[in-house]
Amino acid sequence: MSINKKIGLYIHIPFCLSKCPYCDFFSIVSHDDELKERYVSALINEIEIYGRKIKDMELISIYVGGGTPTVLEGEQLKEILSSCFYNFSVAEKAEITIEVNPGTIDGDKIKTIFRAGVNRISIGGQSFNDRVLKKIGRIHSKEDIMKTYQLARYAGFNNINVDLMFGLPGLSKREFEKTLKELMMLRPEHISLYALTIEQGTPFYEFIESGKARLPSDDFCSKLFVSAIDLFSGNGYEHYEISNFALTGKRCIHNELYWKNESYLGIGAGATSYLDNKRYQNYRDLNQYINLLESGILPIRYQEILPLKERMAETIILKLRMMEGLNKDDFRKKFKVPVEKVFYTPLQTLQEQGLLADNGSNYLLTKKGILLANNVFTEFLD
């Protein structure tokens, strides 16, 4: 298997202390220490197999996500990362991120992962309003967020991301702007700001359908988003992707691999890989995942080679998420055809609607297009 030289590695930890009612990611609530230990051993087995299978690569990023990775012990996380360093070639300045949920970490654990090589922390804050945090099923408080942030700083981290959500039920514009101002006082290097999306099959979907909870209007959410963009921009943050903001030199390297549609390897139950234009996904079932790896078998549930037009559309959509947009020459070099030859109609339609701009070298979302990005993306998916 030949792959691009520089890739990212994603490691999935599916365990959580409780399941947030809006969450659609693969995660399970488990307090079974033996299961967690078996899972860590299986992860290391998978890392070792890929370490033997794929030689011509260098990891420029490692991202440990979930779930809640920090429900594992610090030594378990250290063991996983040590296996990565031993089995793969890791770039000297690789970005190594772990997602942290407030309330699942203490000073000793955060120092352990820092010493293990982690150089970036992503804190799942979501809101600084305790009433709203409780309403959306988070197990932590605003105080827990602040404590986690300070623990990360004391441990030596100089690259911290904080996740926030907008459009949360019951959160007023004034309360949301108060959260933003408090965040600016912390001044993390990176901010991810996402709208609450309700996926079918989640408890929150049932709350909305039954009338137990109400979501704010799209117009209200757009106003919140615009106010956040203005505040962050005024405080030195680059708005470099629809939902992401960074201080100079602090863009998320790992996520940029996704948005640039480049190669990455996924390790863990339910994890997805994208290598050589082929997508793989592992089994989600933990026992099946563990049992296969205990037998030395990669736990791949399916693999597919994406059709050419689908790869083209995916590249356009991902690149348009970035503020610099889709470079016409890059598209032509990658697919040996001008983008206009394949997608002339949607490109023209979106420009006429004021959602897409053409600056000569790139197609990029307009301010209106950023607010209606999903409408833009569906135009390329017929």
Task: Kindly report the pTM of this predicted structure.
Answer: 0.93
Q: Where are the domains of the chain?
A: 6-259, 308-378
Is the pLDDT score of 210 beyond 60?
A: yes
Q: How confident is the model at residue 127 (pLDDT cuts 50, 70, 90)?
A: confident
Q: Are 8 and 63 in contact (CB under 8 A)?
A: yes
Distance CA 187, CA 75 (A): 29
For position 171, what pLDDT does the model report? 80
**Mean pLDDT, the chain, whole residue set:** 91
3-state secondary structure of 102: coil
Over residues 22-68, the pLDDT tens digits come to 555 666 777 789 999 999 999 999 999 999 988 888 999 999 998 89
Query: Would you state the pLDDT for residue 24?
Result: 58
Tens digits of residue pLDDT in 325-356: 999 999 999 999 999 999 999 999 999 999 99
Q: Residue with structure tokens 């030689």? A: 55
Place of tokens 């990455």: 264
308-378 maps to CATH 1.10.10.920: yes
Q: How many whole angstroms separate alpha carbon 290 and alpha carbon 281?
A: 15
Q: Does the structure show a pLDDT above 90 at 14? A: yes
CB 6 within 8 A of CB 91: yes
**Predicted pLDDT of residue 148:** 95
Percent of the chain residues past pLDDT 70, beyond the cut: 92
What does the pLDDT read at residue 1?
42
How distant, in Å, are the alpha carbons of 93, 96, 101, 126, 234 from that of 227? 35, 31, 26, 17, 11
Per-residue pLDDT reduced to its tens digit, 262-284: 999 999 999 999 998 899 999 99
Band (pLDDT 50/70/90 cuts) for residue 206 is low
Fold classified for 6-259:
TIM Barrel (3.20.20)
Q: Give per-residue pLDDT as tens, 146-191.
A: 999 999 999 999 999 999 988 887 788 899 999 999 999 999 999 9
Q: Are 56 and 20 in contact (CB under 8 A)?
A: no
